């Protein structure tokens, strides 16, 4: 019996399960397979310039997707091992990681019509500070998060909190909250 799980970025894990396995055995086999997924090994096995050209990936983009899939597999593994008890999404899980490689520098050279020869690669290594690249990537990451967030989908109060209401509404006081409940109560009182 084969079981396969595909992650959001299309990494897959397939495990072989004995036909006589019960539900607990199926869960254990799949969870173990998910935990064994190694993004670096998968990258080394799949990556080539032809693969990049065919799929439109940069090395760092492909590796980042594999790392996101590893995090996804980790959450699914926890849920399989402890159904109904998983706290997935409640902690401080990594949601994205960036790793820049020399292949990314080569990609930059090609995109800007420079040959990716040894001389240019040496110059790129001299010009690009790994620490500064990391720090600036993090800074720009905040800007990217800001651009991706839709404020209309966020709530200002916890689900358990009640909306503020006012027994009397003073339209001249901008600090006096008016809720839907106030409107119907005011309308009933004025009739």
State the average pLDDT over residues 34-53. 90
At 41, is the pLDDT very low, low, confident or very high (cuts 50, 70, 90)? very high
Mean pLDDT of 26-32: 89
Phi first, then psi: give them for residue 13, nearest 5 degrees.
-125, 125
Regarding predicted confidence, which is higher, 172 or 123? 123
Regarding predicted confidence, which is higher, 172 or 183? 172
Task: Let me know: does 116 contact 132? Beta carbons within 8 Å.
Answer: no
3-state secondary structure of 6: strand
Confidence (pLDDT) at 112 = 93
141 vs 185 pLDDT, higher one: 141
Q: What is the pLDDT of residues 68-89, one digit of tens each?
A: 999 888 888 888 887 766 555 5
What percent of the chain is modeled with pLDDT above 90?
19
- pLDDT score at 123: 95
Q: Which DSSP symbol is given to 175?
A: T
Pair 23, 81: CB distance under 8 Å: no
Cβ(180)–Cβ(165) under 8 Å?
Answer: no
Does residue 38 contact residue 63 with C-beta atoms inside 8 Å? no
CA atoms within 13 A on the CB side of 71: 16
Task: Look at residue 153 in the predicted model and tell me its pLDDT.
Answer: 87
CA–centroid distance for 180 within its chain: 37
Report the Cα–Cα distance between both ends of the chain, in Å, rounded.
72
Measured CA to CA, the distance from residue 76 to residue 13 in angstroms comes to: 12
Q: Are 116 and 101 in contact (CB under 8 A)?
A: no
Distance CA 24, CA 52 (A): 40
User: Is 19's pLDDT higher than 60?
Assistant: yes
Whether the pLDDT of residue 1 is over 60: the answer is yes
- C-beta of residue 179 within 8 angstroms of C-beta of residue 164: yes
Grade residue 173 by pLDDT with cuts at 50, 70 and 90. Answer: low
């Amino acid at each position: 019996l084969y079981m396969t799980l595909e992650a959001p970025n299309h990494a897959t894990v397939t495990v072989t399960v004995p036909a006589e396995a019960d539900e607990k055995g199926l869960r254990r086999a799949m969870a173990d397979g998910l935990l064994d997924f190694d993004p670096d090994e998968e990258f080394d096995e799949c990556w080539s310039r032809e693969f990049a050209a065919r799929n439109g990936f940069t090395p760092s983009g492909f590796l980042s997707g594999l790392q996101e899939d590893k995090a996804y597999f980790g959450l699914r593994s926890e849920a399989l091992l402890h159904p109904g008890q998983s706290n997935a999404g409640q902690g401080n899980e990594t949601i994205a990681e960036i790793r820049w490689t020399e292949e990314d520098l080569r990609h930059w050279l090609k995109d800007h019509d420079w040959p990716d020869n040894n001389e240019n690669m040496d110059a790129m290594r001299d010009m690009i500070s790994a620490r500064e690249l990391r720090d600036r990537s993090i800074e720009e990451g905040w800007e990217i998060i800001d651009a991706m967030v839709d404020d209309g989908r966020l709530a200002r109060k916890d689900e358990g909190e009640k909306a503020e209401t006012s027994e009397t509404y003073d339209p001249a006081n901008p600090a006096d909250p008016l809720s839907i409940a106030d409107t119907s109560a005011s309308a009933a009182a004025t009739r």
